[in-house]
């Protein structure tokens, strides 16, 4: 059995692969400080490790939610920049056409001037030759049609230029709004990440390890509760060919660091990992977990099969990939690595299937 498969089995069973470590339960005092004063509550400013855990996790969850807002604003900005570029190209084309039409109109005006300013119809009736008269009728009609066609094209081209100007103005306004939203979201993300990292940095080394074990313990408890429902008997075990390729890609990223906003190949955030995995499988999916939840086909959790994406929390702020045996692979948060975890270790919002037909 491979390491990844063994780890998945451990997660699915809700068991711990490491020995238990004591930590302060909610409302209980922490252990007494060791010889170096490392295990006490001084580094946490009087908070229990449980309180630190709750605050740190809350900050990371909020940062992850804001990250989706940031990524969505960034995608909108990219689309709007492309739309503005497309409009600009259309304006250049229309301006060239307008210049050509004006040149033709000028040539027609000069021809009329050389004819003494007399309308073509008047010159036609003054012609005494019947053959020339008939030929002149045909030419006059063609000339009239050409004049009307030119005037119509000039009007339509000018209307198109006016529309382009309005569209460009609207797109610039949307672009400004997207930029403002992106800047605001990034500021909020960095503020929350910095706050969480400051909290963790104040912990002594052994306290940071106990915090990690506390996170694992809570995840195991949630996973065990989820498995107690009997859901493992109902879950699918066979991936499609495309889903299998996505799972293989995700497994190959195990151990790589979580980095905010990263989409590989060396670091990932949660939705960056799932997007790249499905891209490697041959299917393009949205960048953010919220957009993955909104746009991809939804399936019942009980019908989940390897390769499906599990969306977590009510705001769809986290995503992992189901890999079978009740386990999933995800990029958890800053300071952690891409890992295998229990599929039920966090509150499940729902499941989406990128290769659903």
- Annotated catalytic, 270? yes
Nearest-angstrom CA–CA distance, 271 and 315: 14
Residue with tokens 């109109």: 105
Q: Determine which one of 11, 53, 148, 318 is catalytic.
A: 318
Residue with tokens 């997660």: 11
Q: What pairs with residue 327 in β-bridges?
A: 324, 342
Nearest to 246 by CA among 329, 357, 331: 329
Q: Determine which one of 11, 53, 148, 270 is catalytic.
A: 270
- Annotated catalytic, 53? no
Q: For residue 254, what are its two tokens? A: 């195990």
Q: For residue 326, what are its two tokens? A: 């009740």
Q: Which residues are catalytic?
A: 270, 318, 330
């Amino acid at each position: 059995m491979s390491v990844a498969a063994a780890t998945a089995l451990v997660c699915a069973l809700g068991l711990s692969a490491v020995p238990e470590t004591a930590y302060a339960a909610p409302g209980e005092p922490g252990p007494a400080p060791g010889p170096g004063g490392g295990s006490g509550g001084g580094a946490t400013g009087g908070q229990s490790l449980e309180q630190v855990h709750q605050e740190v996790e809350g900050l990371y969850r909020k940062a992850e939610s804001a990250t989706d807002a940031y990524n969505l604003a960034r995608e909108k900005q990219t689309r709007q920049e492309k739309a503005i570029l497309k409009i600009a190209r259309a304006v250049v084309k229309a301006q060239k056409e307008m210049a050509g039409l004006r040149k033709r109109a000028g040539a027609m005006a000069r021809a009329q001037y050389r004819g003494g300013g007399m309308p073509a119809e008047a010159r036609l009736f003054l012609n005494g030759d019947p053959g020339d008269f008939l030929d002149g009728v045909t030419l006059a009609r063609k000339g009239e049609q050409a004049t009307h066609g030119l005037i119509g094209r000039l009007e339509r081209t000018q209307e198109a230029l006016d529309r382009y100007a309005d569209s460009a103005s609207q797109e610039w306004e949307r672009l400004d709004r997207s930029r403002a939203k992106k800047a605001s979201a990034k500021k909020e993300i960095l503020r929350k990440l910095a706050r969480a990292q400051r909290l963790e940095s104040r912990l002594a080394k052994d306290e940071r390890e106990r915090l990690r074990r506390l996170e694992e313990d809570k995840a195991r408890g949630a996973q065990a509760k989820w498995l107690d429902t009997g859901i493992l008997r109902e879950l699918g075990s066979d991936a499609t060919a495309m889903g299998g390729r996505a799972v293989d890609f995700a497994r190959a990223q195990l151990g790589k660091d979580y980095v905010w906003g990263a989409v590989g190949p060396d670091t990932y955030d949660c939705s960056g990992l799932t997007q790249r995995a499905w891209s490697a499988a041959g299917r393009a999916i949205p960048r953010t977990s919220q957009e993955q939840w909104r746009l991809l086909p939804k399936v019942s959790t009980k019908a989940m099969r390897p390769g499906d994406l599990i969306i977590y929390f009510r705001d769809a702020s986290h995503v992992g990939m189901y890999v079978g045996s009740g386990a999933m692979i995800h990029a958890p948060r800053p300071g952690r690595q891409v890992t295998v975890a229990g599929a039920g270790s966090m509150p499940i919002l729902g499941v989406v299937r990128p290769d659903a037909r």
